[in-house]
Structure 1
Amino acid sequence: MRTHKVTFATLAVVAGLSLTACQNDDDAAARTDPSNVATASPSSEAPASGGSDSGGTDSASPEASSGGKDDSAGTGTDDQGTAAKCRTDGLKITAIDNFIDGDRDGTVAVEMKNTGGQDCVIAGFAGVDLKTNAGTLSAERKGAPGDPYVLKTGKTIAFSVTYPLNETGGSGVRITGLVVTPPNETKPVTLPWPGKPSLPVTDGSGEPVRVGPIGSAGQGG
């Protein structure tokens, strides 16, 4: 699926809003926080611009972080020949505010629990879009995808979403929702946004919103 990149500069001029997005790679480290959990069921809503059915097709790399991964949840190599790909309808997806005072960026951890009744394989990047009062903003990829991972039934795996903090003193760009599309899927879910309420309006030189690979969680650095 095509992806589009939008800068915060375009968000500052809503009337002339033109969204494009791309996804960049970089490593993400693990951290979890049980507070402030947002949950949603799979939606039949059409995928937002960051939702991608190609997120799990990137070449595997041993450099990917394993943060946020339950060691008992599955493996990166075993049973792939018999397990099907994880599908949106078989995942319970939740979002948790994972920000710690003093961090340079805000962080949200997105968790996916296998509720499909059988093991499934997941890898790569989920599609992530932020709904805002100025339009939809697609997250860029950060990090290298890990090996395909067998997610055991009833187990959970997570990834991180990092975003710049609004420290301008103004209202900024208000975030109204989080749209997540699992790798190799086209069906998204829409979640309440659990993080800070807004992004800064900048001239385009600020930090983008980033999504880490499956198996990462916490601060993106």
Structure 2
Amino acid sequence: MRVNKLTIAALAVVAGLSLTACQTDDEAAAVDRSTPSTSSTTGAGSDASAQGAAKDPAGDSPDQGRSATDTCRTDELDVKAQDTTIDGDETNSVAVTFTNGGGRDCSLSGFAGVDLKTNAGTVSAERSGKPAPATVLKDGESVSFFISYPANDTGGSGIRVTGLVVTPPDETKSVTLDWPGAASLPVTDGSGTPVQVGPIGSAGQGG
């Protein structure tokens, strides 16, 4: 009888331990199901931050709506020329001024095309110096460049200048102006044009 009591008591202890183990596993599983995954929550927050950084406060991407300033068109520019020769200068000069009247910002850079109309035909100016950086003109602002040419000191009649044709940079439409400089150019030996044109901005910029 003593052996049977010990056996029954041992079986009761084993059964109790098994029941406790089952309850512990069930509770752990319940905890796993009710607690969100930490790595999953963190990943979603990172994605949201990345999407927010790609937009500005207005909800647009940083570069949206931005564009480079367009080139000034001939029809938007008021073009004038004036004699700027100073006594004692080695060469004569004329300044041509572009004034932006297009109602928008536009840019000019490099060289304008310059042709002198003469009684002997057209004389095209050669470029001198290096191209200038782009100049952005707000509506109403101006920029100028020089035309230089030799004085006619030969004592003869030379080549009579009858007009000035100016073509803004990157344009094909020209503007014809009265020539404000000396009435004539010296006759050349045919080795090249005596007229040179400076880059945009070479005669200063005004408002």
TM-score, normalised by the number of residues in structure 2: 0.64
- Equivalent position of 1:122 in the other structure: 108
Whether the 8 Å CA contact 1:161–1:212 is kept in 2: the answer is yes
Give RMSD over aligned pairs.
1.7
- Equivalent position of 2:94 in the other structure: 108
1:149 deviation in Å?
Answer: 1.6
Instruction: Describe the superposition over 1:16-35 as per-residue Cα deviations: whole angstroms up to 9, x where unpaired.
Output: xxxxxxxxxxxxxxxxxxxx
Determine the C-alpha separation between the residues in 2 that align with 1:174 and 1:124: 29
Determine the C-alpha separation between the residues in 2 that align with 1:181 and 1:203: 27
Determine the C-alpha separation between the residues in 2 that align with 1:124 and 1:167: 32
Counterparts of 1:8-27 in structure 2 under 5 Å? none
Match of 2:127 among 136, 141, 165: 141
Determine the C-alpha separation between the residues in 2 that align with 1:151 and 1:119: 6
Task: Give the aligned residue type for 2:104.
Answer: Q
Task: Give the aligned residue type for 1:144.
Answer: K
TM-score, normalised by the number of residues in structure 1: 0.60
For the pair shown, which has the larger CA radius of gyration, 1 or 2?
Answer: 2
Match of 2:78 among 83, 92, 116: 92
Q: Could you say what secondary structure the match of 1:92 adopts?
A: strand
Determine the C-alpha separation between the residues in 2 that align with 1:185 and 1:205: 28
- Equivalent position of 1:215 in the other structure: 201
- Equivalent position of 2:171 in the other structure: 185
Whether the 8 Å CA contact 2:161–2:184 is kept in 1: the answer is yes
- Equivalent position of 1:197 in the other structure: 183
The structure whose residues are more often helix, as a share, is 2
1:202 deviation in Å?
Answer: 2.8
1:157 aligns with 2:143: yes
Q: Could you say what secondary structure the match of 2:131 adopts?
A: coil
1:82 deviation in Å?
Answer: 4.0
Whether the 8 Å CA contact 2:188–2:194 is kept in 1: the answer is no
1:121 deviation in Å?
Answer: 1.1
Structure 1, unpaired ranges of 5+: 1-79
Instruction: Describe the superposition over 1:153-211 as per-residue Cα deviations: whole angstroms up to 9, x where unpaired.
Output: 10000000000110011111000000000001000000000000000113246872000
Whether the 8 Å CA contact 1:164–1:207 is kept in 2: the answer is no
Whether the 8 Å CA contact 1:96–1:109 is kept in 2: the answer is yes
- Equivalent position of 2:155 in the other structure: 169
Aligned residues: 139
- Equivalent position of 2:43 in the other structure: none
Task: Give the aligned residue type for 2:73.
Answer: R
Determine the C-alpha separation between the residues in 1 that align with 2:147 and 2:95: 6
Instruction: Describe the superposition over 1:67-122 as per-residue Cα deviations: whole angstroms up to 9, x where unpaired.
Output: xxxxxxxxxxxxx9342110000000000100001111110000000000111011
